[in-house]
Amino acid sequence: MDHGGRVERAFSVAGDLLLGAACPGCGRAAVGLCPGCRALLAEPEPSVTRPEPCPAGFPPTVAGGPYDELLRNLISAHKERQAWLLTPALGRRLARSLAPLVDLAGPGQVRLVPVPSSTAAVRSRGRDATGAIAHAAAARLNRERRGHPIRVVRLLRPVRRLADQSDLTETERHTNLAGAYAVRRAGSADAAARLIVVDDLVTTGSSLTEAARALSVAGLDVVGAAVIAATVRHSGPRTAARLSDR
């Protein structure tokens, strides 16, 4: 272990002893995400994904990896327990998913459009968790790339109250989200940009499909979608480099 690693581990253990801190990924002593979980989070290569069965209108989507135990713990801690120290790490994972879609979008203006959370959820959490991750991902991509800045725009809004998706069946999720989003008035630059929908997770594909539908109906140009993790993988892995073949 190098000097930096020893210092980081000593700091994590001291934090656990003094503050009762634990890594939200594995529960071991750490202040924030431990080095082991951080390494695991960066390990998977992004790949094109789609749910099975795949809903009509599901956009070309890149996931940062499978929705495994680590991601389940991290997304839950970030969203439900307000572990905002995880935002940069999750933003890095999302940025890797976004990179091939940004390449596909070409040299023009690119905007990231988070799938909207309900007003009640944002109020209870004190923050829009998906929007925060999208901003972290955009900041990272802008540091790594030159050209037009990538910005986050909140173009989507719920038009009615939505049920909590976590307790719904696949059919109920599709029904719950059908026609659920509308587009806010877009500025001229945003209306002319190429859009990428972002979310933390894809399960049945209902949220991404509805988001892409609402944006497309409004005449906006949707390149695809990017997520941190996917619960269902298409049979036979495909790399994100083949996204343009879809």
10 plus 68 within the same structural domain: no
200 plus 118 within the same structural domain: yes
119 plus 148 within the same structural domain: yes
9 plus 122 within the same structural domain: no
Torsion of CA 200, 36, 143, 201, to 10 degrees: -10
In a 3-state reduction of DSSP, which class is residue 162?
coil
Q: Using CA atoms, how far apart are residues 211 and 155, in angstroms rounded to an integer?
A: 10
pLDDT at 55: 92
Task: Give the count of domains, the chain.
Answer: 2
38 plus 49 within the same structural domain: no
pLDDT at 241: 44
Does 197 fall in a domain? yes
35 plus 51 within the same structural domain: no
161 plus 225 within the same structural domain: yes
15 plus 124 within the same structural domain: no
pLDDT at 226: 98
Q: Residue 5: give the domain boundaries.
A: 1-43
Q: Are 132 and 75 in contact (CB under 8 A)?
A: no
Does 246 fall in a domain? no
CA-to-CA dists, residue 242 to 45, 61, 170, 177, 237, angstroms: 13, 11, 28, 29, 11
pLDDT at 121: 64
pLDDT at 190: 86
Q: Using CA atoms, how far apart are residues 170 and 187, in angstroms rounded to an integer?
A: 35
Q: In which residue ranges of the chain is pLDDT below 70?
A: 1-20, 118-126, 160-179, 232-246
pLDDT at 80: 83
pLDDT at 3: 47
Structure pTM?
A: 0.80
The residue behind tokens 């209306």 is: 191
The residue behind tokens 């925060």 is: 132
Beta bridge partners, 181, equal 158
55 plus 13 within the same structural domain: no
36 plus 50 within the same structural domain: no
